[in-house]
Amino acid sequence: MAGKKYKSASRKRLINNTIVHIVLAILAIIWVFPILWVIMTSFRAEQGSYVSTFFPKAYTLDNYIRLFTDTTVLNFPKMFMNTLIIAICSCILSTFYTLAVSYCLSRLKFKLRKPYMNMAMILGLFPGFMSMIAVYFILKAVGLTEGALIRVALILVYSGGAGLGFQIAKGFFDTVPRAIDEAALLDGCTRWQIFTKITLPLSKPIIVYTVLTAFIGPWVDFIFAKVICRANSDQYTIAIGLWRMLEKEYIDSWYTCFAAGAVLISIPIAILFLCLQRYYVDGMSGAVKG
Amino acid sequence: MKLFGKKEKEFFEPYTCRNAIREGSGATKLSMLVMGFGNIIRGQIVKGLLYLAAEIAYIIFMITTGLHCLAMIPSLGSVQQEEVWNEELQVYMYTQGDQSILILLYGVATICLTALFFLLVWRGSLKSAYKAECLAKENRHLATFQEDIKSLLHENLHRLLMTPPMVFISCLTILPLIFMICMAFTNYSKIDNHLVLFDWVGLDNFAALFDSSSILGSTFWSVLIWTIVWAFFATFSNYFCGMILAIVINRKDTKAKGFWRFCFVLSCAVPMFVSLLIMRTMLQPEGAVNVLLRNLGIIAPDASLPFFTDPTWARVTVIIINIWVGVPYTLLQLTGVLQNIPGELYEAARVDGANPVQIFSKITLPYMLYVTTPYLIATFTGNVNNFNVIYLLSGGDPVTNLSSTAGSTDLLVTWLYKLTVDKQYYNIGAVIGILTFIILAVGALLTYRNSKSYKDEEAF
């Protein structure tokens, strides 16, 4: 009797497990399907966005080659260089800002600490695009919206808000033991030395995380770039370029190239993301716990 | 209030402006007019000269440009740009007219500069003069300029580290916001051609938006309702789907946990705008999804599902796609929190014979809601301002009412974008921005105050 009961329980568990795994498999297919589809499109030989078959009829590498050689309408290599320059500069600036602000808020006691954190919270409630137009007017008044200076404008825009995104890095600095700081203070270190020689070397994960999120920003943002570049097509970043490839006048001839471009910028970001997942999770759960 | 008192004590400072005015000597009081004077006569010459230089620079700026900018603010300029026939060259020449937008910008910038000057530099000089006086009276050591510079690396490190980010934030976030808020009280828009010269109109724009008989007013209410519905569904659908998925993957009996997680995380490794654009093309009337359904024979060969052409379909579609986009992020973020739930709770429940549904609703959910309230508020706020998903997926389409400026999936933010960038109704756009902020601020404050984790946060 007992054996029979045990058997039916284990059978029930087997059925449960099978159902769970099947459901997971279906969900996984739903989540991965669009990505597979864009990868296949990037190798498709037939042009145009509307196809009657799911799998391509012939495979080719021409889309990738065309992306880098055909610069008459949409200059992909130039956009790539623009984005790279902007990303590197804004990455350096905003990493410094984020780390400096989070260190101050985590370790130093000063009068404006709480007011600053409240201000950051309030500013976060305003829709970002509300000030976008005003930012454009300000940059225009300073004369940064013409020619190559657009790059400077974009660097300023991308690193401008860095001081407000301190939550994750602050959460990390909070976990570095304070006893080390105190010991260093007793030994006669200045706070600057503590910051550069003790805290920063201990915080490599969060530095890597900050650098990478700052670096990825310009590659994936397209609204600010669009508002600030307007019609200056030689200053476009990759995101605007890809967006334009899907506009009505280009979509028929550029659709497969769009897929190729999307795959190209996704690969490095995907690799970085998969490697850094852990820090992302740690940072988030730290921030959630407060 | 108690907390405030404690804070005051923590940063107790004897050298305040009030004390300086009440008890300071003549030299200190003279520093109110000639900044840095008090420092110079006590021997802090470089510091005093710097304050003096700042004052002179400010006065010169105000005389040359600042006062003019301030004087123009009430009228915002009135000189029209005009064509003048030039006899010599036989062409029409344009005279330089006033540009209200620049007048407003310079005016706001001047006001900000003045406020900063008095709050930081003027008060700073007064305080430091009083401090120098007090220290000299007590025969204590006065910091030399070199020591002041050195202190930036130690006691005053926060000044060194916080100043550059603060400059950027004030120029690129705070100044634009004030500027935009000012715009809400003007008639700066394409209506009646006020793009070059405009005036203050007080609260007229707010009145126009709240007047539900006009097209603008009715559009506002429908967009507002959809925004709230969207934010609610987008937040909670992601939250629950992500949580259930995380629980299922982390179940003891699930095999190949890493593989499943990889499948889902892969899609958030692709940049969001790429995956959204892909989704949009796939869901077009001739896109991949419809092709697939036709090939499978589920729909007729010439039919297509109206993903973005029927209002109800479009609304459901964006919510579902948002689940697709958002669940991997939620999965990543909630996995860590879920693993923090004490295991004894589950064991006790199992011993008492609870089934999985009971365990979920009586243990997991209350715990998660308690811990993640701040996260939920942040997500809700993020969803109200979720520009990317709507703009890249549907672009606010379909437009059912041709006379209104918003489509049926437009959120307040995308409507704001359309009004300012496409239609150039800058004033209405600014009003919508302010209203969004007010709604979010009130909502966030109320939920936050009522949440259980509020007290813990304060303790931290």
Q: Check CB contact under 8 Å for A262 and B278.
A: yes
Give the pLDDT confidence score for residue A54 in this predicted structure: 66
pLDDT < 70 regions, chain B: 1-12, 451-460
- Give residue-wise pLDDT tens across range A64-75: 888 888 877 788
C-beta of residue A212 within 8 angstroms of C-beta of residue A7 = no
Arithmetic mean of pLDDT, A65-94: 87
Q: Are B274 and A265 in contact (CB under 8 A)?
A: yes
Q: What is the pLDDT of residue A285?
A: 47
What's the pLDDT score for residue B254? 79
Within this chain, do residues B236 and B342 fall inside the same structural domain, yes or no?
A: yes
**pLDDT for res B4:** 43
Total-model pTM: 0.82
- Same domain, residue pair B143 and B265: no
| Structure tokens, A26 | 């279906």
> Which one of B131, B151, B171 terminates a domain?
B151
User: Looking at chain A from residue 123 to 182, which residues have their Cβ under 8 Å from any Cβ of chain B?
Assistant: 123-135, 137-138, 141, 156-157, 159-164
Question: What whole-number distance in Å separates Cα of residue B411 and Cα of residue B233?
Answer: 13
Is B390 within 8 Å of B318 (Cβ atoms)? yes
> What domain range is B71 assigned to?
12-151
Residues of A in contact with B254 (CB under 8 A): 17, 20-21, 24
The contacts of residue B388 (CB under 8 Å, 6+ apart) are A223, B272, B273, B276
Pairwise CB contact (< 8 Å): A28 & B268: no
pLDDT for position B53 = 92
Give residue A278's pLDDT. Answer: 66
Residues of B in contact with A154 (CB under 8 A): none
Are B408 and B259 in a shared domain?
Answer: yes
A286: pLDDT strictly greater than 50: no
Q: Residue A61: pLDDT above 90? A: no
**B394 contact partners, CB below 8 Å, separation of at least 6:** B280, B308, B314, B317, B318, B407, B409
Domain spans, chain A: 2-63, 74-289
- B235 and B361 both lie in a single domain: yes
Which distant-in-sequence residues (6+ apart) come within 8 Å of A177 by Cβ?
none
A and B: number of Cβ contacts within 8 A: 269
The per-residue pLDDT for B84 is 75
Residues B255 and B345 in one domain: yes
Do residues B311 and B406 both lie within one domain? Answer: yes
On the question of a cis peptide bond just before residue B398, with omega within 30 degrees of 0, the verdict is yes
Query: CB distance from B77 to chain A under 8 Å?
Result: no
* Contacts with A269 (C-beta within 8 Å, 6 or more apart), sequence order: A216, A219, A220, B269, B270, B271
- What's the pLDDT at B458? 43
**Cα distances (Å, whole numbers) of residue B119 to A50, B51, B112, B113:** 62, 14, 10, 10
What is the C-alpha to C-alpha distance for residues A215 and A91, in angstroms, rounded to an integer?
A: 5
Angle at B235 between CA B450 and CA B358, to 5 degrees: 75
pLDDT value for B334: 83
pLDDT at position B460: 36
> A239-260, pLDDT tens digit by residue?
888 888 888 788 777 888 888 8
A115-146 pLDDT, tens per residue?
898 888 888 888 777 788 888 888 988 888 88
pLDDT for A36 beyond 90: no
| CATH number of the domain to which B285 belongs | 1.10.3720.10
Q: Quick one: which of A183, A162, A158, A124 has its CA closest to B161?
A: A162
How many domains, in total, are found in chain B? Answer: 2
Q: A37 at the B interface (CB within 8 A)?
A: yes
Q: What is the pLDDT of residue B6?
A: 45
Same domain, yes or no: B224 and B132: no
**CATH topology assigned to domain A74-289:** MetI-like fold (1.10.3720)
Summarised one tens digit per residue, pLDDT across range A159-210 is 988 888 888 888 888 888 888 889 999 998 888 999 999 889 888 878 888 8
Domain end point (choices B126, B151, B176): B151
A265 touches chain B (CB under 8 A): yes
Give B385's contacts (C-beta < 8 A, 6+ positions apart): A127, A128, B413, B436, B440
What is the pLDDT at residue A154? 92
Q: Quick one: angle between helices B311-339 and A251-289, nearest 10?
A: 40
Domain end (from B104, B124, B151): B151
Helix axes B123-137, B45-61, angle to 10 degrees: 160
3-state helix, strand, coil in chain A (%, to 5): 80, 0, 20
Picking from B248, B277, B457, the nearest residue to A24 by CB comes out as B248
Distance from the first to the final alpha carbon of chain B: 17
Q: For chain B, say whether A55 makes contact (Cβ under 8 Å).
A: no
Contact A127 B433 (CB under 8 A): yes
Please report which confidence band the pLDDT of residue A49 belongs to, taking 50, 70 and 90 as the band edges: low
Indicate whether B377 belongs to any domain: yes
Give me A252's structure tokens.
């028929």
User: Which residue in A has a C-alpha nearest to residue B328's C-alpha?
Assistant: A31
The answer to whether the beta carbons of residues B45 and B80 sit under 8 Å apart is no
The amino acid present at B226, given as its one-letter code, is: W
Query: What count of Cα atoms within 13 Å lies in the side-chain half-sphere of residue B269?
Result: 22
pLDDT in tens, B99-134: 888 888 889 999 999 999 988 889 888 888 888 888
What are the residue ranges of helices labelled H in B270-310? Answer: 272-282, 288-295
Please judge whether B270 and A35 are an interchain contact, meaning their C-beta atoms are less than 8 angstroms apart.
yes
- B180 CA: distance to closest CA in chain A (Å): 6
